[in-house]
Amino acid sequence: MQYWLVKSEPDVYSFEQLATDGKTRWDGVRNYQARNNLRAMKTGDLCLYYHSNIGLEVVGIAKVVKEHYPDPTAEKGDWSAVDLAPVKPLAQPVTLSEIKKHPALQQLLLVRNARLSVMPVSFDEFSVIVQMGETQL
């Protein structure tokens, strides 16, 4: 079991929208590092769902329900998509500023590489953020 963090701009596709849809195709990734992370995802892996630009906070947990396949939105190039489904929202969102303040989260790629949109997180980091969101695993 691996843990991840995925970013989305909430005015484009929010966690609430994912909760409504029940499932979504995570496509449109055009960054090699992020793509390679998508390809490493396994069914059942859990993802922290982060709202970038608006909110700047982790708002929920999603899970991988379909492993990587060719991204149908890619007109050219070698890109991948996965399918994600909602697990649960955090009782209280965990903001970027809280994450930056937390001693156990200083290695988080979200902090160290702001531009990466799909990144692995350790189980410890995942647990800390979920606990900060006051939600049970």
Partner DNA sequence: GCCAACGTTGGC
Sites of contact with DNA (CB under 7 A): 7, 9, 30-33, 52-53, 56, 96-97, 100, 110, 112-117
Q: Is 42 or 115 the residue whose CB approaches DNA more closely?
A: 115
Helix (H) or strand (E) holding 19: helix 15-21
Q: How far is the CB of 117 from DNA (least distance, A)?
A: 4
Q: How far is the CB of 5 from DNA (least distance, A)?
A: 11
As given in the structure block, the two tokens for residue 28 are: 């449109």
What is the C-alpha to C-alpha distance for residues 56 and 69, in angstroms, rounded to an integer? 29
Q: Is 9 or 43 the residue whose CB approaches DNA more closely?
A: 9
Phi and psi at residue 76, in whole multiples of 5°? Answer: -150, 160
Q: How far is the CB of 136 from DNA (least distance, A)?
A: 26
Rounded-to-5 percentages of helix, strand, coil across the chain: 30, 35, 35
Q: Is 17 or 43 the residue whose CB approaches DNA more closely?
A: 17
Coil, strand or helix: which one is 48? strand
Q: Is 100 or 137 the residue whose CB approaches DNA more closely?
A: 100
As given in the structure block, the two tokens for residue 55 are: 């909110």
Q: Is 52 or 135 the residue whose CB approaches DNA more closely?
A: 52
Instruction: Provide the terminal-to-terminal Cα distance of the chain, rounded to the nearest Å.
Output: 14
